[in-house]
Amino acid sequence: MKYYRKLVSVGLALTAIGLSLAALAAEPVTPKLTDKLSRLLQQEMRSVQSAMATIHVSMVTGDHKQVEAQAQQIHDSFILKQSLTEQDKKDLMAAVPEGFVTLDKDFHRLAAGLADAAKNKDTQKQYKLYNKMTGSCIACHSQYVSDRFDGLTEQ
């Protein structure tokens, strides 16, 4: 009987660990953002999305100047670098985990690389970086925006 009770408590502990790991894997940041941050982020995302569409057609038609301009614009839109007040910065850091910040930084670094590849008229490199950027969209949305983009939860 004692043995059975031990087994049950081990089972419960394992379940608790499993649950907290699942929460770690996909914890949406959206409910934790202040209204202002949420508005800024959505605005940034819409401009990123439209820049990515323009980059796509410019890249496949060899319009390097346009690729460079749009990639530079994505790089500069970095929300963490925007003119956020000190309070906004604190709110942002309180709302998002480190992994989110890392992904955001990686994403904007890729955009800078894409601008460089465009300056060098290197289409193959642009293609590679463009795909990596698309991978960043999916990685961040599936991990941190799983509440809104529930079609990505299996990623």
Applying CB under 6 A, the span of 13-21, 82-90, 97-105, 117-125 interacting with ligand HEC comes to 97-105
155, 138 Cβ separation under 8 angstroms: yes
Q: Give min distance, CB of 16 to ligand HEC, in A.
A: 28
At position 59, the amino acid (one-letter code) is M
Judged by CB, which is closer to ligand HEC: 49, or 120? 49
Q: Give min distance, CB of 143 to ligand HEC, in A.
A: 8
Q: Give the x-and-dash track for 105-144 against ligand HEC (CB under 6 A).
A: --x-------------------------x--xx--xx--x
Q: Give min distance, CB of 98 to ligand HEC, in A.
A: 12
143, 106 Cβ separation under 8 angstroms: no
DSSP character string of the chain:
-HHHHHHHHHHHHHHHHHHHHHHHH---SGGGS-HHHHHHHHHHHHHHHHHHHHHHHHHHTT-HHHHHHHHHHHHHT-TTTS---HHHHHHHHHHS-HHHHHHHHHHHHHHHHHHHHHHTT-HHHHHHHHHHHHHHHHHHHHHH-TTT-GGGTT-
Q: Give min distance, CB of 75 to ligand HEC, in A.
A: 12
Judged by CB, which is closer to ligand HEC: 40, or 125? 40
Number of residues that bind ligand HEC (CB under 6 A): 23
| Residues at the interface with ligand HEC (CB under 6 A) | 29-30, 33, 38, 41-42, 45-46, 48-49, 52, 100, 103-104, 107, 133, 136-137, 140-141, 144-145, 148
